[in-house]
Amino acid sequence: EEQEQQPQEPNKCVQLSKVDVQQLISDSIDPSSISIYGQILTDQDMVIVADTLRNNHDIESVTLSSNQIGDQGAQYIAEVLKNNEKVVCLNFDWNKISEQGARYLGELLQTNTTLEILNLNLNEIGEQGGQYLAQALEHNNVACTFLLSPSSNHLLPLIDTYYLDSRFG
C-alpha cells in the first residue's frame, strides 16, 4: 500500500548560536578560504567571522553567499579587512546589503590594496551605494573586479563610468 507523500516544509529562519556559527566556520575553512553558503547568517554572526579573519592570516577568499547579511555585517567584515594584506576575494552575493553597507565597503576599498574581487550581486544596493563604491575606486590603485547584476543593484553604469574616467580619462 502506497503512502501519500507529505509536502516538505521549507527551511525556516532560525537564529544560529555562537557555537553553531563557530562550527560552520570551522567546517568551512580550508587552508586559504572561508565558504559559508546559504546558512542564514546574520549581521551579528559577522562578528564571529570578523574575529576569525582577524586571527587567521592565511585566508585569501571569503564567500558568504545566500545569507541574511546586511549593512552592519558588511561593516564588521569591512573593518577587519581594511588593513588585511591576504584576502583577494570577498563574495557577498545574495544578501541584504544596501547603501550604507556599500559605504562601508567603499571605505574598505580606499585602504585595502589586495582585494581583487568584490561580488555584490543580488543585494539591495541603490544608486547612492554605487556612488560610494565608484568613488572609492578613485582612491584605490588596485584593479578590483565587481560582480554585479544590473537588475538587482544600480551599480553597473556608475562603476563603469567612474572606473573608466578615473583610470583612462
Q: Hunting for cell 591576504 — which residue is that?
A: 86
Query: Could you tell me if residue 33 is inside a domain?
Result: yes
Domain that holds residue 55: 18-168
Structural domain count, the chain: 1
What's 80's domain CATH number? 3.80.10.10
Mean pLDDT of 96-107: 96
Between CA 100 and CA 83 the distance in angstroms is: 20
- pLDDT for 61 beyond 70: yes
The answer to whether residue 118 scores a pLDDT higher than 60 is yes
pTM: 0.78
Q: Is the pLDDT of residue 141 over 80?
A: no
- pLDDT above 60 for 88: yes
Identity of the highest mean pLDDT range in 57-61, 113-117, 151-155:
57-61
Torsion angle of alpha carbons 112, 115, 121, 124, nearest 10°? -10
Residue 129 maps to a domain: yes
pLDDT surpasses 90 at 7: no
Asked if residue 64 is part of any domain, the answer here is: yes
Mean of the pLDDT values across residues 85-96? 95
Q: Confirm whether 13 is domain-assigned.
A: no
Q: Answer yes or no: is 5 within a domain.
A: no
